[in-house]
Homo-oligomer: A and B are copies of this chain.
C-alpha cells in the first residue's frame, strides 16, 4: 500500500473515533496525520486532570491500548485502585497504575503552567507516536448531560451511571470562552490539509463539542479541503458507545440519515462526503437529498486491516 503523502486532519472522540484514526495513521506517511481531539469530557477527578479522549488516542496510536477492556492501557495493574477501595474512596472511574502516571504527569505539567497542547505533544513523542494529536482547545470545556433525572457531569453519566439515564440534551460549559487549537488553525489557514475526516465518533458528545468552539466549524467549512464524515451509526446501531441510545431518547431517527440530518441542520455546508455502511445502502438517496455526496463502504472495523481499508477508502474518495 502506497503511503498517502499529504496531510490529513481527523476529528475524533474516544474509542470509536480512535479506530479510524489508527487506520489513517497506518495509511498516511509518518507525521502526516493530525488528530483534533475532543476535550469536552476532560474532568478533574481525585485531584487529577484527566483527558479521556486524548489518552485513548495516545494509547491507541502507540499500540498500547487495552484491547480486552476496550479502554486504558494494556498490561495494566490496579494496586492504587485496590488501596483506594480499602479506604472506601471513589473507584467508579477505574484508573490503572500505569494510566495514573499519565494523569499525574499531565496534572504536574499543567500546574507548572504548560499548555494542554504542549503536554499532549510531549506525551505523543514519549510514546513514539508519529502522528500529531491536538486537544480541541486549551480552555476547560465541560460537557453536561441533561437527563430526565437531572443534569449529570459527562463522566458521571458515561462511566458512573453507565449511560443509563435517558438524555434530553447536552451543554458544553465554557465553550463560548474557548478558542480552537492554534496549531490546527494555523495549518488550516495554510491550507495544509488535503482532507478533513470526521471519525465515526458520537455526534452529540464527541464531535459537537469540537465543532461548536467559536470559529471552528466555519473555518473547517471554508477550508479548501473536502470534509468526509463517517457515520457512527450502522444498521441502526452505534459502532461504539451510547450514540444510538441517545438518538432514540432525543427522538431522532436512529439511522445514518439521522446522523446526516444532525450535521446538516447544525453545520450547513460543512459536509462534503458522508460515508455510510453497505448495510445502509438503501438510505443513500435520502441522505443525498440533504446536499451531501454519499459514499458506501464496509465501515465496521473489527481488525487493523479493516481500519486501514476504511481509512484508504476515505482518502481515495477525495483523491
Q: Known A79-B98, A80-B100; judge A126-B47 contact (CB<8 A).
A: no
9 residue pairs bridging A and B, Cβ less than 8 Å apart? A46-B105, A47-B49, A79-B97, A83-B97, A83-B101, A86-B101, A87-B102, A89-B104, A90-B108
Contact B46 A87 (CB under 8 A): no
Contact B126 A98 (CB under 8 A): no
Note all chain B residues with C-beta closer than 8 A to A45: 108
How far, in whole Å, are A108 and B80 apart by their CA atoms in the complex? 14
- For the complex, is A48 an interface residue (Cβ under 8 Å from B)? yes
- Given B46, B49, B101, B123, which contacts A80 in the complex, CB threshold below 8 Å? B101
- For the complex, is A7 an interface residue (Cβ under 8 Å from B)? no
Interface class of chain A by DSSP = helix
Minimal Cβ-Cβ distance residue in B for A102: B87
Q: Known A47-B49, A77-B79, A98-B79; judge A84-B105 contact (CB<8 A).
A: yes
* Min CB gap A133→B, angstroms: 15
Q: How many copies does the complex hold?
A: 2
How far, in whole Å, are A293 and B35 apart by their CA atoms in the complex? 73
How far, in whole Å, are A58 and B140 apart by their CA atoms in the complex? 36
* Min CB gap A63→B, angstroms: 15
- For the complex, is A111 an interface residue (Cβ under 8 Å from B)? yes
Note all chain B residues with C-beta closer than 8 A to A302: none
* Min CB gap A87→B, angstroms: 5
How far, in whole Å, are A105 and B87 apart by their CA atoms in the complex? 8
| Highest count of chain B CB atoms <10 Å: which of A46, A104, A126 | A104
Note all chain B residues with C-beta closer than 8 A to A81: 101
- For the complex, is A107 an interface residue (Cβ under 8 Å from B)? yes
How far, in whole Å, are A125 and B103 apart by their CA atoms in the complex? 29
- For the complex, is A44 an interface residue (Cβ under 8 Å from B)? yes
How far, in whole Å, are A79 and B104 apart by their CA atoms in the complex? 13
Contact B47 A88 (CB under 8 A): no
